[in-house]
Structure 1
Amino acid sequence: MATTAFPLDLHDPDSLAQPAVALLIESQQNDTEVPVHYHRKGQLIVALKGGNVCTIEDGLWMVPPGFGVWVPSGTVHSNRVTANGKICLLFIEPGIAQLPEHCCTLALSPLILELVLYLAGGPNDYPADGQIARLAGVLLELLEQAPAERFYLPLPKSPQVRQIASALAEAPASRVTVAEWADRVAMSERTLARLIKNETGLSFGHWRKQWQIIVALQHLVEGASVQSTAEALGYESVSSFISMFRKTLGNSPARYVRDAIVSRKLT
């Protein structure tokens, strides 16, 4: 079973009044999963190596290195760190910074990442008038300006569409059409298509493509090749997968992952 370097039950961030405290978490050869929970403080889940999947009731986020998932105070969620991954959990006192009221993905600058790691390496009970407190204030100001990115998959609430989501999670290469799914869940094609649109804000095709992007990122940040990732997602050719990826995220898979790591000087 995978373990964490700093068990959360021994380091309760909610008991501290400091504006920002950080914990470093590492998984071993297997995935590390933190079950459904919530915090009094807001939480920024920073991916340093590998990837992190954060799930709430109506959505899923997967972020590669150099990005973070913002989870506001009191939001029920679960986290999973990919094999041999490393994340840093930054806990922020409610109301101390102007951060989004809903979960989102933030692109983090090298300076933000260095400040998060600096906090993780020091005492969490630092004094309010010391150097660490001043650096924490700078970090929070920078986070207020961090741009949001698109690593989000809306999760439906209806049991019929949840069934489809579970099937896509088990078999991301599936090419079952919306008409075929309608037969399986005993609905008309038009009704199912409308239900998916209403609950996710996306057509079935775009919703499935967004899921494939999240799965692709998870494979790539774990070190899988572009070719094996394309095969895992059922693409007949690597070029068609690269084309889909580039149209969605604006860059090829290899360059996208490389830039996420190299530009942020992560190891």
Structure 2
Amino acid sequence: MAAWPITALAKDYPRGWHVPKHRHRRGQLIYAKAGVMQVTTREGIWIVPPQRALWIPLGMEHEIQMEGQVAVRMLYLDRSNSALFGSHCKVLSVSALLRELILAAVQAHADKRRKRMVVLAHLLLHELQEAKEEALHIPVPSDPRLKTVCQRLLAGTSRVESLEQLATHVGASSRTLARLFESELQMSFVRWRQHVRLARALSQISQGRAIKAVARDAGYASCSAFSSMFRRVLGITPTHYMTQATEPSAASSSPM
């Protein structure tokens, strides 16, 4: 029997579930129907809310942390189709049509309807190639000093610390640390920390926390300032995102 053009699977995970490092022989599109995932690869940390999907090239080692309950939908592409999407991870915007195609493919695969999957595969590949790439990427450093600082920021233990305070903590000058952010991560300290705060905000919003509280925890003095940043990065307001984000109906602990 001929191989399926695309393999589509559905798995639901409980809050806080961690999928350890692994890799696939096929390219993978990973999409959260509900909930937020944090995916880590050698290229960085990728935040994946319900309106986005992450392309992971074949052979790319990755691990996944579930922020809240997450309903994961996955597509696996063969080598020839994987080549269409490149050899680097990227976050893609998921339109209403693409979302329904992903869900339809998952159902067709579950029902073993191969002919239907063949038809869906053509549409899926077209829509994926047309999808806009989004900047939900947190690069990771190699310098030990910068790595320590970034781990503190990711853990939330240094939410109010300045660059100068962080530099002192790792025995470096603030100028050296600022230069490392630019040279290793290609973004300023302020922008990198903003991406981390946004990642935390996505997780909190998906769990139903009030936007005012999320904005305060992210270090913003007002909801309007937080909303402006949120919309600039994600293209929608926090309120719109909260409306679109839905919790999965069930969760299980099956490995990916």
Residues 170-185 of structure 1: pairs in structure 2 closer than 5 A = 170-171=155-156, 174-185=159-170
Question: 1:124: how far off?
Answer: 6.4
Aligned counterpart for 2:226 among listed residues 241, 245, 251 = 241
Question: 1:211: how far off?
Answer: 1.1
Letter in 2 for 1:254: T
* Partners of 1:60 and 1:121 in 2: CA distance: 30
Q: What runs of 5+ residues in structure 1 fail to find an aligned partner? A: 1-15
Check 1:105–1:247 CA distance in 2 against 1; reply closer, same or farther (3 A cut).
closer
Q: What runs of 5+ residues in structure 2 fail to find an aligned partner? A: 250-256
Question: 1:21: how far off?
Answer: 0.8
The answer as to 2:197 corresponding to 1:206 is: no
CA deviation map 1:186-218 (0-9, x unaligned): 112222111111111011111111111111112
- 1:123 equivalent in structure 2: 109
Check 1:56–1:44 CA distance in 2 against 1; reply closer, same or farther (3 A cut).
same
CA deviation map 1:148-191 (0-9, x unaligned): 11211111111111111111122166121222222111112222
The answer as to 2:4 corresponding to 1:18 is: yes
Whether the 8 Å CA contact 2:68–2:206 is kept in 1: the answer is: no
* Partners of 1:236 and 1:212 in 2: CA distance: 14
Aligned to 2:154, the other structure's residue is in SS state: helix
Aligned to 2:85, the other structure's residue is in SS state: coil
* Partners of 2:227 and 2:97 in 1: CA distance: 31
* Partners of 2:183 and 2:88 in 1: CA distance: 19
- 1:223 equivalent in structure 2: 208
Aligned to 1:89, the other structure's residue is in SS state: strand
The answer as to 2:91 corresponding to 1:105 is: yes
Identical columns (%): 31
The answer as to 2:151 corresponding to 1:166 is: yes
Check 1:127–1:63 CA distance in 2 against 1; reply closer, same or farther (3 A cut).
closer
Please, what TM-score do these two structures have when normalized by structure 1? 0.83
Aligned to 2:182, the other structure's residue is in SS state: helix
Aligned counterpart for 1:197 among listed residues 172, 182, 187 = 182
Which one scores higher on RCO, CA 8 angstroms, separation ≥ 6?
A: 2
Question: 1:48: how far off?
Answer: 0.5
* Partners of 1:239 and 1:110 in 2: CA distance: 27
- 1:92 equivalent in structure 2: 77
Letter in 1 for 2:10: L
Moved more, 171-180 or 50-59: 171-180
* Partners of 2:89 and 2:29 in 1: CA distance: 10
RMSD: 2.5
- 1:6 equivalent in structure 2: none
* Partners of 2:92 and 2:207 in 1: CA distance: 20
Question: 1:20: how far off?
Answer: 1.0
Check 1:255–1:201 CA distance in 2 against 1; reply closer, same or farther (3 A cut).
same
* Partners of 2:240 and 2:92 in 1: CA distance: 19
Check 1:149–1:234 CA distance in 2 against 1; reply closer, same or farther (3 A cut).
same
Check 1:181–1:135 CA distance in 2 against 1; reply closer, same or farther (3 A cut).
same
Question: 1:238: how far off?
Answer: 3.2
Residues 45-124 of structure 1: pairs in structure 2 closer than 5 A = 45-96=30-81, 98-123=84-109
Aligned to 2:81, the other structure's residue is in SS state: coil
Aligned to 2:197, the other structure's residue is in SS state: helix
Whether the 8 Å CA contact 2:6–2:117 is kept in 1: the answer is: no
Question: 1:66: how far off?
Answer: 2.5
* Partners of 2:222 and 2:81 in 1: CA distance: 49
* Count of residues paired in the alignment: 246
Moved more, 212-221 or 37-46: 212-221
